């Protein structure tokens, strides 16, 4: 293969994977981070290059592009940063094969580290929940799905109240998950949060990011749920392992907007549809943060 053909093939691969991550509106932050690690493994194996340094450069380039692809998703950023840190600083004396293997190994190590962190955070919360509680959530966090599964597996009965989570409708995915577990579940529109929150013993949400000051970045509507939970005196709990922790502060955050056509508004000259996917819930509305080190009523940044 000539150099320019290899280059075009590499560029095409990277573009496809970056576009897929940018357009993936269904996956939460953890899942996106795991998909990005899998992309690095694939690219380590498929990248067209003859030298260790060429491969290294290409992988660093993809990792950096993936890191920046979804600014609201701290787990994606954390995973890519940790991947870059764990890679050797200099591969000038390495073989191409050893570089490939190391890249795959580092990715797999991080996949396991993410799974462990999520599992331990989930367990820390399971340990403090009593059987018979009613838990309310918004959107469909992989951590919250894992929590529900673990509660079920440990025989701790619970009821769930879940929202449809427009416009992505992640609530339907969560509804199917809970149905398979046989958990009695109420499914409501986002607008009904205020009608049902008083039936919950705890509100538990995942996180796309936790900012340095404890502010939660999560699916739009989370802030409304936090406000109505506070108003009703229902504790608001964030379940998010340290991969979700971000070094940013609220003023630095640009909340991602997604295509407006998801709202299906017919074209009108003076009306502009907006589709911001995330919102910011300030720490003052959060009662408990749970990560792999346990629950805390004060946010402890792990970065």
Q: Which residues are catalytic?
A: 208
Name the CA radius of gyration of the chain, rounded.
21
User: Nearer Cβ to a second copy, position 113 or 186?
Assistant: 186
Among 117, 129, 175, 290, binds a second copy (CB under 8 A): 175
Q: Which residues contact 241 (CB under 8 A, 6 or more apart)?
A: 30, 114, 117, 118, 120, 121, 143, 291, 292
How far, in Å, are 7, 22, 69, 155, 205 from residue 141 at the CA level? 37, 18, 19, 21, 7
Task: Determine, following the binding rule CB under 8 A, whether residue 142 of this chain makes contact with a second copy.
Answer: no
Integer Cα distance of 205 and 238 in angstroms: 5
Using the contact rule CB under 8 A, the part of the chain among 117-125, 222-230, 245-253, 286-294 near a second copy is 222-230
Instruction: Select from 60, 188, 283, 293 the one that contacts a second copy (CB under 8 A).
Output: 188
Answer for the pair 121, 292: CB distance below 8 angstroms, yes or no.
yes
CA distance 167 to 264: 10
Q: Of 233 and 266, which CB lies nearer to a second copy in the complex structure?
A: 266
213: contact with a second copy by CB under 8 A = no
- Closest approach of Cβ 285 to a second copy, in Å? 8
Minimum CB–partner distance for residue 184 and a second copy (Å): 6
* Nearest approach, Cβ of residue 250 and a second copy (Å): 13
Q: In what order do the strands lie in the sheet with 278-281?
A: 209-210, 216-219, 278-281
**CB-nearer residue toward a second copy: 86 or 156:** 156
Binding site for a second copy (CB under 8 A): 164-167, 172, 175-176, 178-179, 182-196, 219-221, 223-224, 227-228, 231, 255, 263, 265-266, 268-276, 279
């Amino acid at each position: 293969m000539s150099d320019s053909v290899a280059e075009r093939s590499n560029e095409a691969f990277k573009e496809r994977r970056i576009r897929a991550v940018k357009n993936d509106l269904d996956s939460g932050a953890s899942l996106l981070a795991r998909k990005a690690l899998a992309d690095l493994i694939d690219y380590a194996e498929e990248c067209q290059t003859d030298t260790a340094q060429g491969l290294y450069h290409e992988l660093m380039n993809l990792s950096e592009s993936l890191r920046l692809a979804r600014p609201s998703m701290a787990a994606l950023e954390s995973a890519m940063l940790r991947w870059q840190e764990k890679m050797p600083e200099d591969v000038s004396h390495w073989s191409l094969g050893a570089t490939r293997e190391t890249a795959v190994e580092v990715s797999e190590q991080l996949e396991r580290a993410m799974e462990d962190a999520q599992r331990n955070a989930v367990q820390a919360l399971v340990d403090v929940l009593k059987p018979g509680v009613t838990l309310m959530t918004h959107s469909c966090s992989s951590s919250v799905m894992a929590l529900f599964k673990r509660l079920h597996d440990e025989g701790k009965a619970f009821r769930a109240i879940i929202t449809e989570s427009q416009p992505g409708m992640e609530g339907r995915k969560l509804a199917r998950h809970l149905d398979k577990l046989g958990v009695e579940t109420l499914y409501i529109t986002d607008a009904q949060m205020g009608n049902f929150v008083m039936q919950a013993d705890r509100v538990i949400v995942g996180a796309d990011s936790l900012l340095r000051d404890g502010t939660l970045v999560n699916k739009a509507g989370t802030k409304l749920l936090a406000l109505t939970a506070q108003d009703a005196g229902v504790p608001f709990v964030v379940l998010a392992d340290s991969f979700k922790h971000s070094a940013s502060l609220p003023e630095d955050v640009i909340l991602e907007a997604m295509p407006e056509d998801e709202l299906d508004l017919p074209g009108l000259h003076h009306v502009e549809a907006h589709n911001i996917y995330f919102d910011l819930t300030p720490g003052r509305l959060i009662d408990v943060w749970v990560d792999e080190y346990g629950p805390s009523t004060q946010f402890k940044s792990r970065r």
